[in-house]
Amino acid sequence: MEDDDLLRYSRHILLEEFGIDGQARVSAGHALVIGAGGLGSPVAMYLAGAGVGHITLVDDDEVDLTNLQRQIAHTAARVGQAKVRSAATAMGDLNPTIRVETHVRRADAPLLEELVPQAQVVIDCSDNFATRQLVNQACVRHGRPLVAGAAIRFDGQLSVYDTRDEASPCYACVFPADAHFEETRCAVLGVFAPVVGTIGVLQAGEALKLLAGIGEPLAGRLLMFDGRTASFDTLRVARDPGCPVCGNRHHGNAHS
Ligand SMILES: [Zn+2]
């Protein structure tokens, strides 16, 4: 590791559990971030600051004035730009030593099939149920850990779904694809900006822990945050043996 890197990452390297080995793993790591909005902004910035060596960003949307209240990677001057390009600019300003790969595309099944196996950790920062299911399916198929977050109004939640662990549920075990519920969007119901920040920062933390190989991931636990009362609750979540996505686990190239 070069001197500049030792300085840049010194506050992580100083952590006993993290150390120089943890930083080396983070620097050699590849994270896939789906969505460059309210959750994706803090995720992208924290992963860039921490020096994740290769970060792939996927989002087909452009920066809009209504985004700036909470999507902190973007600026007023970049309204109208592709969100992934705007976020890549912010990440490059923060840490020019990392590689940021951008895809101005919707995270559809073919793109996920291409990108998920290349990454070591996948962070779902998308804003809709259909995309979350597709991301989960690709993560299960390729044996990649998924850090999934969501936020609406004053409520946020996150968990880690890591089907490399036999006991860990996948996203669809907890939120079945055929469940009937009304999709709620920030554009309709609003969202308290610090709630997306809180969940995004926690997602970045889980991703960094997975890359560095430290701590205890949030697998098997669903963390819920209530921004009205500033309270956290943790719910145990179990694997569904009948889950159509992960019920019959075969990890084609889990070790590739
Ligand atoms: Zn499942």
In angstroms and rounded to an integer, the radius of gyration of the C-alpha atoms of the chain is 17
Residue 112 — φ and ψ, nearest 5°? -65, -40
What global pTM score does this model have? 0.95
If you measure from the C-alpha of residue 163 to the centroid of ligand 1, how many angstroms do you get, rounded to a whole number?
Answer: 8
Active site residue 186: yes
* Spatial separation of the C-alpha atoms in residues 136 and 216, rounded to whole Å: 21
Cα–ligand 1 centroid distance for 245 (angstroms): 5
Query: Domain spans of the chain?
Result: 3-253
pLDDT score recorded for residue 1: 84
d(CA 105, CA 113): 14
pLDDT tens digits in sequence order for the chain, 256 residues long? 889 999 999 999 999 999 999 999 999 999 999 999 999 999 999 999 999 999 999 999 999 999 999 999 999 999 999 999 999 999 999 999 999 999 999 999 999 999 999 999 999 999 999 999 999 999 999 999 999 999 999 999 999 999 999 999 999 999 998 876 667 677 778 999 999 999 999 999 999 999 999 999 999 999 999 999 999 999 999 999 999 999 876 544 444 3
Question: Tell me, what DSSP letter sits at residue 141?
Answer: H
Which two three-digit tokens encode residue 150?
A: 């969501």
pLDDT on residue 256: 35
C-alpha 255 to ligand 1 mean position (Å):
20
Q: 107 is written with which tokens?
A: 């995270």
**For domain 3-253, which architecture applies?**
3-Layer(aba) Sandwich (3.40)
How many other CB atoms are found less than 10 A from the CB of residue 52? 30
Distance 206 CA to ligand 1 centre (A): 20
Q: What is the pLDDT of residue 188?
A: 78
Active-site residue, selected from the candidate residues 125, 139, 170, 186: 186
